[in-house]
């Protein structure tokens, strides 16, 4: 079983460096991030002890390069590897900034950034957020929908409303060729001096419709304390980007996925997720 110290030791052997851990970064519920330094330069180490995640990390490394080439502000990946025990890791550049409270100016800046994702992946991708969203909503992929249906309370009512919203779009071909972050929320943004300096936690990136990211931002803005009206800006941008079918299906799949993720972790988190999911439905008049 790897530890952060063993991962750093293997990274140093692979790179011929002398990095050491400075501190652990907050956030990052699915993998852990640490600031490293070798005395002259700094970086951010992210790793997970889940070997099955290694192919996605390798794919994300290529997508990061492609996204940065068009100006998408995600930190550069300096090294990618897998430990002897199978734990995938990546070393990223350390960029300035902290998670923001989104106001209208930052929201419009972020919408422009999301437009950089358009048609960035013209070839077919094995990992498609559009295919996954349709599969979750209509075909029971991964059992997500069924598990959330078995919960108690408002989350079940909201899931039913999402199902009704999506019913007319069964069989619709959703956009496949945008770059999709896959977990774009306020906690994965870095801002300094009024500018978005970093979009992080990008390991789940793939192809699909950028509407997935924009509706995820809509729900995040509603539940995470953004300024009034910011959620509407994101949803309007999602509808412009990909149309109502893609927005509905992506929103439903994202809601089910996040609801499942927080279910065993936080009652308060579930209330926030419900609030964000309810707000998206309100904006769609569903």
Distance CA 133, CA 141 (A): 9
**The pLDDT value given to residue 27:** 56
Higher pLDDT, 1 or 77: 77
CATH class of 4-93: alpha beta
**The pLDDT value given to residue 123:** 82
**The pLDDT value given to residue 254:** 98
Residue 62 has pLDDT above 50, yes or no: yes
**The pLDDT value given to residue 122:** 87
**The pLDDT value given to residue 264:** 78
**The pLDDT value given to residue 29:** 45
**The pLDDT value given to residue 139:** 97
Long-range contacts of 55-61, Cβ-Cβ distance < 8 Å, separation of 24 or more: 56/127, 56/203, 56/204, 57/88, 57/89, 57/90, 57/203, 58/88, 59/126, 59/127, 59/205, 59/206, 60/90, 60/202, 60/203, 60/204, 60/205, 61/90
Residue 171 has pLDDT above 80, yes or no: yes
Q: What are the distances in angstroms from CA 221 to CA 44, 179, 195, 250, 251?
A: 26, 21, 17, 16, 14
Q: What is the pLDDT of residues 247-267, one digit of tens each?
A: 999 999 999 999 999 997 877
Q: What is the pLDDT of residues 80-98, one digit of tens each?
A: 999 999 999 999 999 999 9
Same fold, 4-93 and 104-283: no
Model confidence pTM above 0.85: yes
**The pLDDT value given to residue 187:** 93
**The pLDDT value given to residue 266:** 74
**The pLDDT value given to residue 26:** 74
Q: What is the pLDDT of residues 225-235, one digit of tens each?
A: 999 999 999 99
Residue ranges of the domains in the chain?
Answer: 4-93, 104-283
* H or E element at residue 5: helix 4-15
Beta bridge partners of 199: 189
Distance CA 110, CA 72 (A): 10
Backbone angles phi, psi at 55, to 5 degrees: -60, -35
Q: What is the pLDDT of residues 38-54, one digit of tens each?
A: 999 999 999 999 999 99
Q: Specify burial of residue 211 (Cβ count, 10 A radius: 0-12, 13-18, 19+).
A: buried
Beta bridge partners of 32: 47
CATH class of 104-283: alpha beta
* Mean pLDDT, the chain, whole residue set: 94
Residue 28 has pLDDT above 50, yes or no: no
């Amino acid at each position: 079983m790897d530890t952060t110290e063993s991962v750093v030791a293997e990274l140093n052997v692979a790179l011929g460096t002398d990095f050491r851990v400075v501190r652990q970064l907050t956030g990052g519920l699915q993998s852990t991030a640490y600031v490293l330094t070798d005395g002259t330069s700094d970086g951010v180490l992210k790793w997970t002890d889940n070997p099955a995640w290694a192919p996605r990390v390798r794919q994300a490394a290529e997508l990061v390069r492609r996204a940065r080439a068009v100006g998408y502000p995600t930190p550069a990946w300096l090294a990618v590897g897998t430990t002897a025990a199978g734990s995938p890791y990546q070393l990223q550049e350390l960029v300035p900034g902290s998670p923001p409270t989104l106001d209208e100016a930052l929201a419009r800046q972020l919408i422009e950034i999301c437009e950089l994702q358009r048609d960035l992946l013209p070839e077919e991708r094995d990992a498609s957020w559009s295919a996954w969203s349709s599969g979750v909503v209509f075909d029971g992929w991964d059992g997500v929908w069924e598990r959330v249906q078995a919960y108690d309370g408002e989350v079940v009512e909201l899931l039913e409303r999402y199902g009704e919203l999506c019913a007319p779009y069964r069989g619709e071909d959703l956009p496949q060729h945008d770059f999709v972050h896959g977990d774009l929320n306020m906690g994965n943004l870095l801002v300094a001096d009024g500018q978005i300096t970093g979009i992080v936690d990008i390991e789940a990136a793939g192809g699909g419709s950028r509407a997935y990211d924009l509706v995820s931002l809509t729900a995040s803005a509603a539940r995470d304390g953004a300024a009034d009206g910011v959620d509407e800006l994101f949803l309007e941008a999602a509808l412009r980007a990909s149309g109502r079918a893609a927005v509905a299906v992506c929103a439903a799949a994202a809601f089910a996925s996040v609801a499942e993720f927080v279910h065993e972790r936080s009652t308060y988190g579930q209330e926030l997720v419900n609030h964000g999911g309810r707000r998206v439905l309100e904006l769609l008049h569903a």
